[in-house]
Amino acid sequence: MTRESWQTRIGFILAAVGSAVGLGNLWRFPWMASENGGAAFLVVYLGVVLLVGVPGLLAEFTIGRRARRNPVGALRDLSDSRFWSAFGHVFVVTAVALLSFYSVVGGWILRYFAESFTGAYFADPGAHFAAIDYGAAAVGFHLLFLAATAVIVLRGVRRGIERATKVMMPAILVLLGGLAAWGLTLDGAAAGVAFYLTPDVGYLRANFLDILPAAAGQALFTLSLGAGTMLTYASYLGEDRSLAADGAAIAVLNTLVGVLAGVVVFPILFALGAGAGPAGPGALFVSLAGAFAALPYGQVVGAAFFGVVALAALSSSISMLEIPVAFLVDEYGVSRRRAVAGLAGLFAVTGSVVALDPDLFGFVAGPLVDLLLTGGLVGFMLFAGWVLGVDAVAELRAGAGALARSLATPWLYAVGVALPAFLMFTLVSALAAAAGVPVGPLSVFGLELDRTRVLLVVTALVAVASFLGLRRPQSVL
């Protein structure tokens, strides 16, 4: 059987943008930005997207297009090593973790979309969200969202994913643009725009090292990196496209939607005097839903907003399901139908468990996913840098223009050395903060040390050691 492929270049770009644009932009981004200083967070986040996200995206793209396989098969075939083929299986675990919680949030969104028409959450948004967030009702809507995801993936790469995202992406842009224009006309919207778009340099300086891991985590999540999604999508590409140009287009479009989402969310919140709003996974549902309840035409605006979010979530969840589907189809010759049916059954169970337990939800959606995505992307980067080496440069150059061709070798150094070290640093910092290691100075054998400097040195050493261990003869590094 011949392997599936995209029909058009724009089809691939829209599918990848569809994967990238999702709850990460519309639900997680405003929540993270409001907790980390608004515009200050935006600045750091944009920097990480450009300097780490785009090169990381290209690492997944080169591996995927070279191998024309799912992540497990790709790492195995290109390396001939047991270690890498075992490592590939991590991505199946990542897909389970991602979709299990994502589908629960997707279910909340579907519910709020329906309830915008009836105004069910209008009277008391806080109490309403607390009543529906976890438990049997959440399980039901999670199953509905999962079923919608499975139906699209079942139809295949061209007829399912490509066709669906071609309709969904323009719809998202138009609706979101309309909402932003409307939100900006509200009284008091200016304060929201200011919070969102004027960085407080003092805050940025004082908190830079705390903002950094949050911004890095957000950048990976929003670009769908570290799970093998982008690798899998690129595996359906031909050699005649420029990976660099497509990658840049995807990053730009995704960032635009993220920024636009903030322009929708913050003015509406500030117009209502809700300020940056309460933090946590319920932020969008409580504060924004509360705003819709209080505003003129709230029902229409609410339905439009949750409709956009639902479309965006769906075009992302299909990319999560496609990872293990591609794995079963490529590696075991299972039919797409069977693969989707079996996996949907599995996710129905894992997602339901997550929907029943708030603590488990918090753990999976937060630290577990951060760990898996960061570790996964470090793996892809090291693989491109040290296992593929010159081949990765050749792959990036295939079909590319002059600029991308000249940047290919510096790119290899970045993904082979600098960026994995940076990501390990953010990962260790985030884990240390989660484990309660104090932010202030540490005293080791009477030496006053800054936690962040210690971590920087340790992670750099670990990174160097792993590069040496992974060195391959064909590497140009």
Subset of 318-337 contacting ligand TRP (CB under 6 A) = 319-320
Please, which residue, 39 or 172, has the CB nearer to ligand TRP? 172
Give the integer Cα–Cα distance in Å for 270 and 288: 10
Q: Which two tokens stand for residue 247?
A: 């990658």
Give the integer Cα–Cα distance in Å for 275 and 268: 9
Do residues 48 and 219 lie in contact, with contact meaning Cβ atoms separated by under 8 Å?
A: yes
Please, which residue, 255 or 319, has the CB nearer to ligand TRP? 319
Residue 326: alpha-carbon gap to chain centroid? 19
Please, which residue, 224 or 242, has the CB nearer to ligand TRP? 224
Do residues 230 and 60 lie in contact, with contact meaning Cβ atoms separated by under 8 Å?
A: yes
Q: Which residue has the tokens 């590409």?
A: 237
Subset of 78-107 contacting ligand TRP (CB under 6 A) = 98
Residue 222 Cβ vs ligand TRP, minimum distance, rounded to whole Å: 4
Please, which residue, 250 or 396, has the CB nearer to ligand TRP? 250
Residue 286 Cβ vs ligand TRP, minimum distance, rounded to whole Å: 20
Do residues 294 and 206 lie in contact, with contact meaning Cβ atoms separated by under 8 Å?
A: no
Residue closest to ligand TRP when measured from CB atoms: 24
Using the rule CB under 6 A, is 281 a contact of ligand TRP?
Answer: no
Residue 376 Cβ vs ligand TRP, minimum distance, rounded to whole Å: 8
Please, which residue, 227 or 427, has the CB nearer to ligand TRP? 227
Subset of 283-322 contacting ligand TRP (CB under 6 A) = 316, 319-320
Give the integer Cα–Cα distance in Å for 215 and 227: 18
Residue 371 Cβ vs ligand TRP, minimum distance, rounded to whole Å: 12
Please, which residue, 224 or 287, has the CB nearer to ligand TRP? 224
Nearest in space to 391 (alpha carbons), one of 117, 73, 79, 48? 79
Q: How would you class 9 by CB atoms within 10 Å of its CB: exposed for 0-12, middle for 13-18, buried for 19 or more?
A: middle
Subset of 173-232 contacting ligand TRP (CB under 6 A) = 221-222, 224, 226-227, 229
Subset of 17-76 contacting ligand TRP (CB under 6 A) = 19-20, 22-25
- Counting Cα atoms < 13 Å in the Cβ hemisphere of 477 gives 27
The contact set with ligand TRP (CB under 6 A) reads 19-20, 22-25, 98, 221-222, 224, 226-227, 229, 316, 319-320, 373
